[in-house]
Structure 1
Amino acid sequence: MVSQLKRFTVQTEKDISIKDITAQVQNAVEESNIENGLAVIFVPGSTASVSTMEYEPGLLKDIPRVLQKIAPFNYNWEHHKTWHDNNGASHILANLLGPSLVVPFQKKKLLLGTWQQIVLMDFDTQAREREVIVQIIG
């Protein structure tokens, strides 16, 4: 078994920012020397997640609405008392959705469904540049 590590960055907006990173992950797989295997996508940090979804305008509005109901940004979270950074909801959402995702690939092509894209979801209360790590294993 062999593996290769690739990295790229994504600029996000504050609060709930959802970015399609499918092309970057696919490029990482294509640039590797590995024909078949798994792509492990990971975002370092405690206020962002990686997932899959149908990346379309309706869901880009619906998903933040649902997430705000699960962990409202305007709630008085205990985390705020410790760090005074008002991003308790950001940590909770990232914890629920997780920092990583595994996607199989064959002949250097990600095996995603027709309407399935890989997304970076940043929940922090400030815009930032996020690093995404792709470990390609095969």
Structure 2
Amino acid sequence: MWAQHLLTLPPKPRGFHLITREVVAAVPELPEIHAGLLHVFLQHTSASLTVSENASPDVRRDFERYFDRAVPDGWADFEHTLEGPDDMAAHIKASVLGAAMSLPVRQGQLALGTWQGIYLCEHRGRGGPRRLVLTLQGAG
């Protein structure tokens, strides 16, 4: 089976946001898959995706603090500044973390670990809605 859906997430503030529930809800065929993969692709260059700790909000805040120090907004050596001081920093953060992931599906569910969740990493102060292409493949 193959299925594909477009998920548009509403604008979120800068930060690391759990979106596992939204992703699962957007793929109604998921319960039919015994073994397969869900590919998640983010159609943007200033936000990213990652999998990490899903229980403690401290983890999400620590991610944000780390990346803000590693790649600060408005670094004087950035040339790409037409869209504001957070634009080039957002592109770099997004490139480091990535725009896509493939997740295993097992017995109708994402086979994430107990403490794992999917994050949308918003690197802009005003990123706007974010589109994800969700492609499910697998056998029932």
* CA displacement at 1:34 relative to structure 2: 3.5
What amino acid is aligned across from residue 8 of structure 1 in structure 2? Answer: L
CA distance in 1, matches of 2:43, 2:127: 15
How many residues were matched structurally? 134
| Aligned residue number for residue 116 of structure 2 | 116
Contact 2:3-2:29 at 8 Å conserved across structures:
no
Compute the displacement of 1:30 (Å).
Answer: 4.3
Q: What is residue 41 of structure 1 aligned with on the other side?
A: 40
The residue that corresponds to 1:11 in the other structure is 10
Deviation of 1:111 (Å): 0.5
Q: Is the 8 A contact 1:4 1:136 kept in 2?
A: yes
- Counterpart amino acid of residue 112 in structure 2: L
Distance in 2, matches of 1:35 and 1:103, equals: 14
1:74 maps to what in 2? 74
TM-score for both structures, normalised by structure 2:
0.85
Structure 2 residues not aligned, in runs of 5+: none
The AA in structure 2 aligned to 1:79 is: H
For residues 123-138 of structure 1, the aligned pairs below 5 Å read 123-138=123-138
Q: Identify if the C-alpha distance between structure 1 residues 85 and 110 changes in structure 2 by more than 3 Å, giving closer, same or farther.
A: same
Asked if residue 26 in structure 1 is aligned to residue 13 in structure 2, the reply is: no
Letter of the 1:27 counterpart: A
Q: Tell me the C-alpha RMSD between the 2 structures.
A: 1.7
Q: What is the alpha-carbon distance in structure 1 between the residues aligned to residue 59 and residue 37 of structure 2?
A: 27
| Counterpart contact for 2:103–2:111, Cα < 8 Å | yes
SS of the aligned residue for 1:72 comes to coil
- 1:7 Cα shift? 1.8
- Name the aligned partner's letter for residue 40 of structure 2: I
Q: For the residues of structure 1 that align with 2:64 and 2:39, how far apart are their CA atoms?
A: 25
Structure 1 alignment gaps of length 5 or more: none
Amino acid at match of 1:35: H
* Secondary structure of the corresponding residue to residue 78 of structure 1: coil
Range with greater deviation from structure 2 (112-121 or 71-80): 71-80
1:39-88 C-alpha deviation (Å, 9 max, x unpaired) = 001110111111111132211211111001110013121211xx343311
Shift in alpha-carbon separation, 1:84–1:51, aligned structure 2, 3 A? closer
Q: Secondary structure at the match of 1:19?
A: strand
